């Protein structure tokens, strides 16, 4: 078990709800959409029903929050970023993905290098433990990047912008690590 917990993390038995800006309760499956644009050959826009028809994957993984909690054996379903990349075809210039999200505190963003999104466990998730992802945990659709602290698994994703140069997001501008590796304990910049 200890080999599954990064340094200074504590296992919890429930999925905590943490949010700085406020939960956008008016965001629903009916009014949600995803726009994928920027350095891609094939920009796309999906509504919820269109998005969940894309090739889906189920995974079981551990998640780790920068606030020191870890939840083991979480079950998710969603669309792997690898599948999205096959559809939109990032250009040679594309090196990073900026996640643009709904958030009552303003415009929440975070970013990740494309190479960090190529795993078999990185996705845009719409189900958690077999249920539609609830709004408190980032539904209808959130990012899932288990190898990073959980603030990199952006909630309420509305847009994916492919860019050549990285842009620091909300937490990163506030002093949190842009690389966010829990195994290296990269909590702060």
Residue-range domain boundaries for the chain? 2-170+179-184
Q: Which fold would CATH assign to domain 2-170+179-184?
A: Sulfite Oxidase; Chain A, domain 2 (3.90.420)
The percent of residues in the chain predicted with pLDDT above 90, rounded, is: 90
What's the pLDDT score for residue 2?
60
What's the pLDDT score for residue 106?
63
Note the pLDDT tens digit of each residue in 144-162: 999 999 999 999 999 999 9
Cα–Cα dist 114/90, whole Å? 9
CB proximity list for 173: less than 8 A, separation 6 or greater: none
What's the pLDDT score for residue 103?
77
Note the pLDDT tens digit of each residue in 56-88: 999 999 999 999 999 999 999 999 999 999 999
Evaluate if residue 1 carries a pLDDT over 60.
Answer: no
Closest CA to 41 of 103, 93, 105, 78: 93
Contact yes or no for 24/102 (Cβ under 8 A):
yes
SS3 content of the chain, % helix, strand, coil (to 5): 15, 35, 50
What's the pLDDT score for residue 3?
87
**Number of DSSP helices (H) and strands (E) in the chain, helices first:** 3, 11
What's the pLDDT score for residue 23?
87
CB proximity list for 26: less than 8 A, separation 6 or greater: none
Closest CA to 129 of 118, 139, 119: 139
Evaluate if residue 175 carries a pLDDT over 80.
Answer: yes
Instruction: Report DSSP state, residue 6.
Output: P
Note the pLDDT tens digit of each residue in 87-143: 999 999 999 999 999 976 667 899 999 999 999 999 999 999 999 999 999 999 999
What's the pLDDT score for residue 18?
77
């Amino acid at each position: 078990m200890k080999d599954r917990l990064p340094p200074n993390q504590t296992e919890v038995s429930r999925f905590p709800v943490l949010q700085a800006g406020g939960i956008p309760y008016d965001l629903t499956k009916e009014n949600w959409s995803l726009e994928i644009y920027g350095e891609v050959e094939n920009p796309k826009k999906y509504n919820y029903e269109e998005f969940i028809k894309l090739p889906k994957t189920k995974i079981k993984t551990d998640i780790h929050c920068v606030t020191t909690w870890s939840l083991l054996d979480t079950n998710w379903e969603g669309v792997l970023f690898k599948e999205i990349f096959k559809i939109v075809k990032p250009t040679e210039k594309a090196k990073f993905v900026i996640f643009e999200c709904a958030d009552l505190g303003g415009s929440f963003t975070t970013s990740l290098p494309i190479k960090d999104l190529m795993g078999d466990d990185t996705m845009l998730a719409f189900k958690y433990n077999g249920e539609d992802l609830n709004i408190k945990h980032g539904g209808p659709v959130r990012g899932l990047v288990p190898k990073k602290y959980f603030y990199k698994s952006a909630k309420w994703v509305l847009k994916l912008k492919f860019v050549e140069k990285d842009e620091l997001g909300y937490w990163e501008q506030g002093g949190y690590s842009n690389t966010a590796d829990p195994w290296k304990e990269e909590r702060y910049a």
